[in-house]
């Protein structure tokens, strides 16, 4: 049972969802970024195909192989014998965000569903997503009901990240919402028109806006294999997200600098006057060394923060493509085979 949660500004009501007739003229693309998901794809693709037939929409399934070293490409390309299935192999591992972008660029449907290849994103939810879309939602995103499967450390880190990234802005990146979502063609076109190279997708989804409906769901445990997002990668992703969607850390650096410089100057003046007029010479090695280390530390952190932003500018200026395609297989939308 899936509970529907309507965003305040969404026009749809539950009744409208229930009575909206399926529209055969509409088409839908499913994009699956895959890094070593061979065994999972074997289970997911037939499942997904059944679900898409049942929607009575025209559909295509696009598997984006992100430089897998297992049989992911072989599995996906075997399915490409059937109409509706497509496989895009990237020339190496470019990361999930790049793989998603490659899939979005290739998708031709009136709506695009993004889902993971590891069966954590249950394809059954696609029915509900489509119903919401037919009823007028432009984005339908799945929200994790609970994260109790994650370590305390990871939950804390994610809380910290969202409060930092949403500290000041006109749009908020929703917590607990991932890449599992349906997006209308308008939204996909808006996403694809964003020129940046550092693609923090969760932020970009929020940035483009549109009427969004949240669907609570509980992710299934990963079917086979292990998650490729370890702590190091997650921290990297968080820094990408922060630098792409905030500039306040730069301001904090200036303010901290100012707050330290003003009292330091005043104290320096006091010490000089004290010595010249009253002959009190400066004492206290320990204090000097400790404060020196403290201020050098702050300085290095500040330089690091500025450096992170400069690194992003450098990435953008180089203007390299986000991914390189090795080859594509399969035809477009399914053509009504029986």
| Nearest distance in Å: CB 232, ligand UDP | 13
Q: Helices 231-245 & 152-165, crossing angle to 10 degrees?
A: 10
Q: Does the footprint of ligand UDP cover residue 117 (CB under 6 A)?
A: yes
Interaction partner, residue 123 (ligand UDP, Mg ion, none; CB < 5-8 Å by kind): none
SS3 289: helix
Indicate the residue among 233 and 251 with the shorter CB distance to ligand UDP. Answer: 233
Give the CB-side neighbour count of residue 49, counting CA atoms within 13 A. 19
Q: Is 69 left (phi over 0), alpha (psi -120 to 50) or beta?
A: alpha
Q: Does the footprint of Mg ion cover residue 120 (CB under 5 A)?
A: yes
Site for ligand UDP in 187-246 (CB under 6 A): 222, 227-229
Indicate the residue among 93 and 108 with the shorter CB distance to Mg ion. Answer: 93
Q: Which of 184, 173, 175 is nearest to 211 (CA)?
A: 184
How far is residue 204's CA from residue 92's CA, in Å, rounded to a whole number? 24
Site for Mg ion in 205-224 (CB under 5 A): 222
Q: Does the footprint of ligand UDP cover residue 34 (CB under 6 A)?
A: yes
Indicate the residue among 102 and 190 with the shorter CB distance to ligand UDP. Answer: 102
Q: Does the footprint of ligand UDP cover residue 116 (CB under 6 A)?
A: yes
The 76-95 contact track toward ligand UDP, x by CB under 6 A, reads -----------------x-x
Burial 169-183 (b: 16+ CB within 10 A, else e): eeeebbeebbbbbbb
| Nearest distance in Å: CB 317, ligand UDP | 24
What are the angstrom distances between the C-alpha of 51 and each of 79, 125, 313? 16, 10, 43
What are the angstrom distances between the C-alpha of 238 and each of 100, 163, 202, 333? 18, 12, 11, 36
Q: Which residue is nearest to ligand UDP (CB)?
A: 227
- Among 60, 66, 110, 334, the residue binding ligand UDP under the rule CB under 6 A is 66
Under the rule (CB under 6 A), what is the footprint of ligand UDP?
33-35, 37, 66, 93, 95-96, 99, 116-118, 120, 222, 227-229
């Amino acid at each position: 049972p899936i509970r529907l949660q309507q965003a305040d500004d969404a026009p749809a009501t539950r009744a409208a969802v229930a009575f909206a007739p399926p529209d055969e003229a509409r088409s839908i693309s499913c994009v699956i970024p895959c890094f070593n998901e061979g065994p999972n794809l074997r289970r997911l693709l037939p499942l997904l195909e059944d679900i898409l037939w049942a929607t009575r929409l025209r559909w295509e399934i696009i598997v984006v192989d992100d430089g897998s070293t297992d049989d992911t490409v072989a599995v996906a390309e075997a399915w490409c014998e059937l109409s509706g299935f497509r496989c895009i192999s990237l020339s190496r591992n470019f990361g999930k965000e790049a793989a998603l972008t490659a899939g979005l660029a290739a998708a031709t449907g009136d709506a695009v569903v993004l889902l993971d290849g590891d069966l954590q994103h249950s394809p059954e939810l696609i029915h509900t997503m489509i119903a919401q879309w037919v009823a007028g939602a432009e984005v339908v995103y799945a929200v994790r009901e609970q994260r109790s499967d994650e370590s305390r450390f990871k939950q804390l880190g994610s809380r910290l990240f969202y409060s930092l990234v949403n500290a000041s802005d006109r749009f908020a990146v929703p917590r607990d919402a991932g890449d599992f979502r349906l997006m209308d063609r308008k939204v996909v076109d808006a996403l694809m028109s964003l020129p940046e190279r550092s693609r923090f997708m969760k932020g970009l989804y929020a940035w483009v806006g549109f009427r969004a409906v949240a669907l609570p769901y509980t992710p299934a445990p990963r079917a086979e294999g292990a998650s490729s997002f370890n702590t190091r990668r997650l921290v990297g992703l968080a820094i990408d997200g922060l630098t792409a969607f905030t500039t306040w850390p730069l301001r904090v650096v200036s303010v901290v600098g100012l707050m330290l410089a003003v009292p330091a100057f005043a104290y320096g003046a006091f010490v000089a006057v004290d010595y010249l007029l009253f002959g009190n010479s400066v004492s206290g090695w320990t204090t000097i060394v400790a404060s020196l280390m403290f201020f050098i530390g702050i300085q290095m952190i500040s330089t690091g923060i500025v450096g992170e932003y400069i690194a992003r500018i450098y990435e953008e200026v180089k203007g390299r493509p986000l991914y390189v395609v090795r080859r594509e297989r399969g035809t477009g939308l399914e053509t009504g085979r029986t």
